[in-house]
Amino acid sequence: MDPDTGTMVREGVDSIVNPLDLYAIEAALRLKEDHGGSITVLSMGPPAAERALREALSMGCDRAFLLSDKAFAGSDTWATSRVLSTAIRHCGAFDLIITGERATDGDTGQVGPGIAAWLGIPVLSHVSQLQLRDTSCLMATRLTEEGYQRLEVRLPCVLTVVKEIAVPRLPTLRGKQQARKVTIPCLTASNLGLDPETIGLAGSPTRVVKIFHPRVAREAERIEAREEAQIRQAIDRVLEVLDNQGFLTPKRDACDDRPYESATQQIQAEHALSSVDDHARLRPQGKKEIWTLAEYRGGRMDTTSFELLARARPLADQAGMLVTAVALSAAITDSDARMLIARGADCVIALESPCLADFECGTWSSALVTLARDQLPEIILAPATTSGRALMPHLAIMLGTGLTADCTDLALDPETGDLLQTRPAIGGNIMATIRTPRHRPQMATIRPHSTRPLQPDTARQGCLIRKMLDPQPADTRVKILGLDCESHDFENLEAARIVVAGGRGLRKADGFRHVRALADALGAAVGASREAVDRGWIGYPHQVGLSGKTISPDLYLCAGISGAIQHLAGIRTAKTIIAINSDPHAPIHEVANLAIIGDLFEILPRLTKAVLQVRQSDHLVAGTENATRGDI
């Protein structure tokens, strides 16, 4: 990292194809094998990036362009997508643009949707399957938190693909020899007719204020669990930790457990929502606003909607701003709006239209563009979910402003009042604080579950503004066909309070039986390391880490995971980590709060049994109480 600009120094680094872009290349190669056509590969980077382009050519791509110019250096995702989209136009006609889901260094995932916004074509993010229906139409499957969304999209369009799409091929000797013969033209800013002031560091709306190393201060406790007595002791200790944190006897804490229903009931009882007529009084004109996005997931308002309010509320109080929750759906109920107000919103804008029932990036983006241009919010926050991370970069391009991905901390600069957006980068090895000094709104996506919703305050007052979208049509180029969800693969890892995960130490697919049993006993979601997923033992939706999901559960209990740095990147913000691994030198033990050195096949089943016993005895107690009450 450059200590002055906070941008990445790309010179002198072994230039490889971003591992996630290899999936994009492979997807393109398979389309070409089945349907013909030609593949052009573009890379923006220093001259050394030519090596990465040759690798792509050796895999079977037809031609390559290197976008290299000092003026490109220091580009943020806004400027990068601007340069790339200009170059794409420059290179001639195209039918399909495929990108990796994100880069494993910057880890934003913003460039793909950004390109689509610049080019004015549809974008599907997180595509896991695709099939060309005819020369103008493509069937695709998107991997979302809820399941596999099936869509149909007209060409041209942009796809960002995930690892499930295809296993990349290895280049062959013949391919390498072929690739060496190809000339790779280098395109500069002047070739592309780009004003250097509008690209690179100069043209980037965002600025890195500082970079620093995250402080990981975990209490560490190690237990050797090889002999019988030690194993018993280890299991007792795990139970103790679980119990101390309330995982064995789930408290009926409205905030923690079921933020949605219980709190709604309270508010309905109190009639906290003022009438819509109070709009003017409650939403004073001239006050700056922080917008938070409210999303529905599986027909319910998603917890992330409340988490965003918890982020926005203190900032708004500090600077005298209003917090406005913007909810998009087919229909938004009053009680949902009340919930948002009770959780910190001053105002709820309900954008309602049948075409907003399901997430479609272009449709949602254009609905919000109209609203944002009209009302000029100071800040827009969205969850860093699959939809948020596609929508926001698209919206940022449309609004001509900067965006910071996957923030874990927000603050206001005491001098300028600018939003200071702090996010992990390079696999969480560094933290970067980013500012958008000259552009408004300031936009950020926030890592799900990295904060807690506020306790619902039934006395809070707020207003609800319903906006029926004008018959502003959905993007007709995209048609949503349906959602497939197999319950176990889609248990929403990101939102789970407890995740039990397994890795290579499980030895085979059957080993996940032990992980699943403990997860079921604890009411937890199941995670996995990349190695376990790559070996085909469990599906990609379970993958945790740099090339999978980044999660922040209250408890991460993993067995047979060594803790490669890429995996640790995905769990750095977990509150408590318990690791079971027989290798005393496994890096996972270095980050775990409780490190158990022992055989998982010995420990997991017994731990599961112990958890079930504790829980069962609690149920008995609870059952008795109910019975007594019933009698009275």
Partner 1 sequence: MSTPLQQEIPGTSSLPHRYGRVTPSIMAELQSLLGQDQVFTDPDKLQAYSHDETSIEDYGHQPEVVVFPRSTQQVADLVLLANRYRIPLTPRGAGSGLSGGAIPLFGGIVVSLEKMQRVRDIDYENMTITVEAGMVTNDINNVVRDHGLFYAGYPMSLETCTIGGNIAENAGGGKAVKYGVTSRYVLGLELVTPSGEVVRLGGKLAKDVTGYDLVHLIVGSEGTLGIVTAATLRLIGLPKATCDLLVLYATPQAAISSVPTILTNGLVPTAIEFMDRSSVEASCRYLNESLPYETCGAMLLIEMDGSDQAQVEHDAEAVGELCLQQGALEVYVADNRTTRERVWSVRRNIAEAFKVYSPVQSLEDIVVPPARIPDILPTLAELEREFGITIPCYGHAGDGNLHATLVNPPDMDMERWHAVEHEALEILYAAVTQLGGKISGEHGIGLKRKRYMAEFMDPVELKLIKAIKQAWDPLCIMNPGKLFDPE
Instruction: Choose one: 37-45, 171-179, 268-276, 488-496; the region binding partner 1 (CB under 8 A).
Output: 171-179
And the tokens for 229? 């007595």
By beta-carbon proximity to partner 1, the closer residue of 479 and 507 is 507
Is 221 an interacting residue with respect to partner 1 (CB under 8 A)? no
Judged on CB neighbours under 10 Å (0-12, 13-18, 19+), 447 is buried
Alpha carbons 303 and 295: distance in angstroms, whole number? 9
Task: Output the smallest distance, CB 491 to partner 1, in A.
Answer: 23
By beta-carbon proximity to partner 1, the closer residue of 93 and 173 is 173
Is 273 an interacting residue with respect to partner 1 (CB under 8 A)? no
Task: Output the smallest distance, CB 129 to partner 1, in A.
Answer: 16
Alpha carbons 340 and 264: distance in angstroms, whole number? 10
- Specify the DSSP class assigned to residue 489: T
Task: Output the smallest distance, CB 502 to partner 1, in A.
Answer: 14
Task: Output the smallest distance, CB 386 to partner 1, in A.
Answer: 25
Contacts of residue 201, defined as CB under 8 A and 6 or more positions apart, other chains included, come to 5, 7, 73, 74, 75
And the tokens for 332? 């938004």
Picking from 574, 552, 556, the residue whose alpha carbon sits closest to that of residue 503 is 556
Is 508 an interacting residue with respect to partner 1 (CB under 8 A)? yes
The residue from 38, 131, 177, 318 that contacts partner 1 (CB under 8 A) is: 177
With the C-alpha atoms ordered 438, 82, 67, 198, is the resulting torsion angle positive or negative?
negative
Is 154 an interacting residue with respect to partner 1 (CB under 8 A)? no
Long-range contacts of 336-339 (CB under 8 A, 24+ apart): 336/264, 336/294, 336/301, 337/273, 337/462, 337/464, 338/264, 338/267, 338/268, 338/272, 338/273, 339/260, 339/263, 339/264, 339/267, 339/301, 339/306, 339/456
Task: Output the smallest distance, CB 397 to partner 1, in A.
Answer: 30
The residue from 171, 214, 250, 314 that contacts partner 1 (CB under 8 A) is: 171
Is 507 an interacting residue with respect to partner 1 (CB under 8 A)? yes
Instruction: Choose one: 128-136, 153-161, 164-172, 277-285; the region binding partner 1 (CB under 8 A).
Output: 164-172
For residue 479, what are the β-bridge partners?
152
Alpha carbons 318 and 327: distance in angstroms, whole number? 24
Picking from 439, 433, 432, the residue whose alpha carbon sits closest to that of residue 412 is 433
Instruction: Choose one: 67-75, 174-182, 193-201, 270-278; the region binding partner 1 (CB under 8 A).
Output: 174-182
Is 181 an interacting residue with respect to partner 1 (CB under 8 A)? no
Is 51 an interacting residue with respect to partner 1 (CB under 8 A)? yes
Task: Output the smallest distance, CB 321 to partner 1, in A.
Answer: 46
Omega before 156 within 30 of 0, i.e. cis: yes
Taking residues 580 to 599 in sequence order and writing x for each that binds partner 1 by CB under 8 A, - otherwise, the string is: -----x--------------
Judged on CB neighbours under 10 Å (0-12, 13-18, 19+), 314 is middle
Is 19 an interacting residue with respect to partner 1 (CB under 8 A)? yes
Is 10 an interacting residue with respect to partner 1 (CB under 8 A)? no
And the tokens for 353? 């239209």
Instruction: Choose one: 126-134, 260-268, 534-542, 574-582; the region binding partner 1 (CB under 8 A).
Output: 534-542
With the C-alpha atoms ordered 477, 482, 487, 491, is the resulting torsion angle positive or negative?
positive
Torsional class of 12: left (φ above 0), alpha (ψ -120 to 50), beta (otherwise): left
SS3 call for 101? coil
Task: Output the smallest distance, CB 541 to partner 1, in A.
Answer: 16
Task: Output the smallest distance, CB 535 to partner 1, in A.
Answer: 5
Instruction: Choose one: 69-77, 91-99, 165-173, 334-342; the region binding partner 1 (CB under 8 A).
Output: 165-173
By beta-carbon proximity to partner 1, the closer residue of 14 and 374 is 14
The residue from 135, 172, 244, 617 that contacts partner 1 (CB under 8 A) is: 172
Whole-angstrom distance between the N-terminal and C-terminal Cα of the chain?
69
Q: Among residue numbers 335 through 394, which ones bind partner 1 (CB under 8 A)?
A: none
The residue from 58, 445, 450, 547 that contacts partner 1 (CB under 8 A) is: 58
Task: Output the smallest distance, CB 609 to partner 1, in A.
Answer: 25
Torsional class of 193: left (φ above 0), alpha (ψ -120 to 50), beta (otherwise): left
Number of residues that bind partner 1 (CB under 8 A): 27
Q: Among residue numbers 536 through 555, which ones bind partner 1 (CB under 8 A)?
A: 536
CB 130 within 8 A of CB 159: yes
Task: Output the smallest distance, CB 174 to partner 1, in A.
Answer: 8
In the complex, the residues that contact partner 1 under the rule CB under 8 A are 14, 16-17, 19, 22, 51, 55, 58, 167, 169-177, 224, 226-227, 507-508, 534-536, 585
